A and B are shown apart, each in its own frame.
Chain A
């Protein structure tokens, strides 16, 4: 057997072996009050393992703050702060600015502590959007992770700008006249890319090693980074609690939620790209929020996904990193 035949096999089985390399230390403890099958709580646990001890977490108001911090208990074995709904990015950037000054002045130990802000789709893409843009623009050494479960789940499944087209929510119900959410999901990734961030990525806890690698990569960036993590919410998606991972995988396999990264402006897929994407129906049929969607409407969604998938593919194929462009211009 030659090396060339062995390596693809090793890469194929990477997911089987890699979990053994994952830290056994738990920074997000069991015993919190998340719903059964909550992919967000799982993602946070994985994120914390990837971040490691030298981290400060700023948590926007939302499910994760509620389920993890019921006084006098806490699920957090990392320094953690919650202030309000719209300002995780501002508080997180203040934490970074404070730590930086104190470290420089010798008032705290001289080591790098990463400030990480987290929020849901509402806290990131809607009410916290201005704060997010400001924090990213200012260039803090701040990682922002959005845990996107595609609606205001904490307040009871109201639509947000992260809610997919036609999904039924409590403020965009599948009514007799209007069938659910009437607009397409906001592409916050592209807006983050437009901030010229060193590192931007999408991820899913359904691909835990990929997600953790991205968190690690983002952690190492000495500057702003953004990770957008799609997390299944069985309660809000009206899906069985044992399908959180399955739905996460289908989101990628159907192309509904492409998994990629943009490093220094260069787009790249981070998972093996399916040779043939599965139809979006495969992703939608397991979820009660799409129960009312008609075959004709599914066609509309399929067409949109096809176009967006192609648009992304072109970026992956053609984009160059700023470093590459700089080198090219020098010649």
Chain B
């Protein structure tokens, strides 16, 4: 049984990767991912994991290098943030198209300009359609658990897709949190050694990443889509197994006091913890508030969401990124679209919050809920707390 410790989350997430006995890592430093890069190198240089460690010259090369190693049959890891993730963008759909079980940790950070090193989700949102399984962690424990779960999901023969694990930059990565670090024996029991589907080796030559003409390209795209959609059942299975072994429950959509809720907040990432406190405070004031936390961004958990919103009158969706030009927040767009065909659905309002590290406190979430209870904002989506 793992023991309860206090550890910086970036370090803990790297330790979780070490428990997965990765064979190869490639990293390029960027704030606030840098502690992950540093700690992974500590692990390898201290000989705690037998792996090749590459300090590459860019994030583009980091993802490219782990693709090479993964194609050779190695269990790989990389990590990045913000501009680094944007720089990887070209290679991300290739990793999923080639069906390589890569795991990447993302310390979420704002995207320039203006340059800003603090946390929001504007780095991962443009990557939404690259075909990766995307987990959002709320706290250090979830970050640790999700890294280990990520390998299991990615490497399942009926998935074979890259997985990235979101952890909010600074707000999670740089916090020392109490968490239970699983021990090696437990992780070994949970995560079997990687058995790659095909590898680059002269004993059985294969060609990977070939040219797809119009007669085959649509089929290739559909097969990736189907694989990603179907991965949700594997993710559920893996999370169920995790719960049985480790006693911590994971669901694609996690609800808090939604059964009788009148107004519910929707969050992704670390702000869910703050929102939870706000819900408690609102309940004390007699307001029937609830909270829906989305843990699985891709594949999108449509059914879980539909079940979670049953009976709720107003849904206040918070977004930590903007889809510029009118749609508002990407999470809210997704939720509106997910609920459009439902016979009865809540009124949906959208707040843009916490951009570039702007603090959002308990009182702010309480204000948002109270305002949303009217069922309408003065604008289609509101930049909460914006000046001017």
Binding site for B on A (CB under 8 A): 53-56, 58, 65-66, 69-72, 74, 76-84, 86-87, 89-102, 104-105, 107-109, 113, 130-131, 133-135, 137-138
Contacts and interface: CB of A to CB of B under 8 A. Distances in A.
Given A94-B26, A134-B58, A70 B211 contact: yes
B73 A98 contact: yes
Interface string B55-94: 1111011001111111111101000000000000011001
- Report the contact-size class of chain B (Cβ under 8 Å from the partner): 35 or more
B307 interface: no
B121 to A, nearest CB: 26
Given A93-B54, A94-B24, 19 more contacts: A55-B202, A56-B201, A56-B202, A66-B211, A69-B210, A76-B207, A79-B201, A81-B71, A81-B207, A82-B208, A87-B60, A91-B65, A95-B71, A95-B72, A97-B69, A101-B50, A101-B69, A107-B23, A134-B56
Interface in B364-381: none
Contacts, number: 167
21 contacts: A54-B202, A65-B211, A71-B210, A76-B205, A79-B205, A82-B209, A83-B98, A83-B209, A84-B64, A84-B91, A86-B60, A94-B54, A94-B64, A95-B200, A98-B24, A98-B69, A101-B50, A102-B72, A107-B23, A130-B58, A131-B60
Contacts of A109: 203
A98 B72 contact: yes
* Interface core residue of B66, B67, B204 (most chain A CB under 10 Å): B67
Contact of A90 (B61, B98, B211): B61
Contacts of B207: 69, 74, 76, 79-81
B68 A131 contact: no
B64 A101 contact: no
B386 interface: no
5 shortest A-B CB distances, which residue pairs?
A94-B68, A98-B69, A134-B57, A94-B65, A98-B72
B115 interface: no
Nearest to B66: A94
B51 interface: yes
Contacts of B26: 94, 97
A113 B65 contact: no
A65 B74 CA distance: 24
A102 B74 contact: yes
Given A65-B211, A94-B24, A98-B68, A134 B200 contact: no
A87 B91 contact: yes
A58 B67 CA distance: 11
Contacts of B200: 56, 79-81, 95, 99
B338 to A, nearest CB: 33
B213 A138 contact: no
A104 B24 CA distance: 12
Contacts of A113: 201-202
A102 B202 contact: no
B92 to A, nearest CB: 11
